[in-house]
Amino acid sequence: MNIGHISLENTLFVAPMAGVTDRPFRQLCKTLGAGYAVSEMVTSRRDLWNTLKTSRRANHEGETGPIAVQIAGTDATMMAEAAAYNIDRGAQIIDINMGCPAKKVCNKWAGSALMQDEALALRIVEAVVAACAPRKVPVTLKMRTGWCHSHKNAVTLARAAESAGVQMFTVHGRTREQGYGGQAEYDTIAAVKAAVRVPVVANGDINSPQKAREVLALTGADALMIGRAAQGRPWIFREVAHFLATGAILAPPLVAEVKRLLLAHLQDHYALYGEFSGVRTARKHIGWYVKALPGGDEFRARMNLLDDCHDQAAAVADFLDQLGERMDRMPAAMPDGLTNRDEEQMELTA
């Protein structure tokens, strides 16, 4: 599959998740079978570009391409400037966020709130495409099915945005009003797929290889995007790829492999965030890895008290060594983790 002139390794994507899909996590997912990852959103507010948070988000050192950066904002000129700023820092694809329901974003009329004002949404698309086209950078758009149940305008918006030059759409099968509640629906994604010629990516509640196959069949989408189910389970991408290719379920990873992956992920994480922030922000990732494991809750409680990177990594290694004595492989079915926890976290991080 291609996004504009850029071809992708495969059609399994990591969803952008603010506070989660930083460079170390994206790179880990790519190593484990994801063909494409979008960065956490970067604000279009110039006054925030020099903050540590935004400059970390705009750091792509050592990341396997293509580098895709998501931008969020409400003003067409500022969004065009944000696109140019990120292209200068290595972005090869610019994704416009019209899917994020976080209050922090929507109160400022960005994210999925833009779906309520199609004229403004289009002005933003046109301005961003105008900034990206001369640099040969494709523009993509991530949206929800609409604002609310009675106003599902994903198809209308996609048609207009395609005419304005958008080269790929990702649709999360929920309205803004739904937040993360209820279940994703796939009919609207199928309708978007039928309405445009550029690739369409289906997103929402894909948490197993079987669900991935079902969503592909229901939507006819060109690619699938997985978010929450990859938290603590980044190997889901190779599991899905294997199932789609062969129809067989891949054995869960060996505990020894997870130990190696997790320790490498932690080192990469500490290197990006430094000791103080690194040890704290790593806790959520470790928590996701261990939450379904025997003794995982107790371990998480103990681990949250450690505030030194070396001690944290050593505790993780010990925990997984002990687990390895009881079982060779990770448990087959991890809980999908699609809970309100994510919405809380989203409010905190986005």
Ligand X SMILES: Cc1cc2nc3c(=O)[nH]c(=O)nc-3n(C[C@H](O)[C@H](O)[C@H](O)COP(=O)(O)O)c2cc1C
- Applying CB under 6 A, the residues found at the interface with ligand X are 15-20, 40-41, 70, 97, 99-100, 142, 172, 203-206, 226-229, 342, 345-346, 349-350
Using the 8-state DSSP alphabet, how is residue 328 labeled?
S
Nearest to 176 by CA among 100, 122, 109, 107: 100
Q: For 125-263, where are the E strands, in sequence order? A: 139-146, 168-175, 200-203, 223-226
Which residues in 302-328 are b (16+ Cβ under 10 Å) and which e? ebeebeebeebbebbeebbeebeeeee
Upper half-sphere CA count for residue 18 (Cβ side, 13 Å): 24
Q: Decide whether 141 or 303 has the Cβ nearer to ligand X.
A: 141
Q: Which is nearer to ligand X, 106 or 262 (CB)?
A: 106
- Name the token pair of 92: 């090869």
Give the CB-nearest residue to ligand X: 227
Q: Between 208 and 309, whose beta carbon lies closer to ligand X?
A: 208
Nearer to ligand X, 27 or 345 (CB): 345
Specify burial of residue 276 (Cβ count, 10 A radius: 0-12, 13-18, 19+): exposed
Smallest distance from ligand X to CB 180, Å? 7
C-alpha pair distances (Å), 288 with each of 128, 206, 335, 340: 36, 17, 10, 14
**Nearest approach, Cβ of 324 to ligand X (angstroms)?**
29
Q: How far apart are the first and last CA of the chain?
A: 29
Residue with Cβ nearer ligand X (160 or 338): 338
Please name the residues in contact with 195: beta carbons below 8 A apart, sequence gap of 6 or more: 155, 158, 159
Q: Least distance (Å) from ligand X to the CB of residue 37?
A: 11
CB of 326 to ligand X, least distance (A): 30
Closest CA to 165 of 198, 203, 188, 194: 198
Q: How far is the CB of 242 from ligand X (least distance, A)?
A: 19
Torsion of CA 23, 29, 35, 37, to 10 degrees: -40
CA atoms within 13 A on the CB side of 346: 20
In the complex, the smallest distance separating the C-beta of residue 105 from ligand X, rounded to whole angstroms, is 8
Residue keyed to tokens 């976080």: 102
Active site residues: 100
Smallest separation, CB 247 to ligand X (Å): 22
Q: Would you say 79 or 309 has its CB closer to ligand X? A: 79
39 — phi, psi (to 5°)? -65, 165
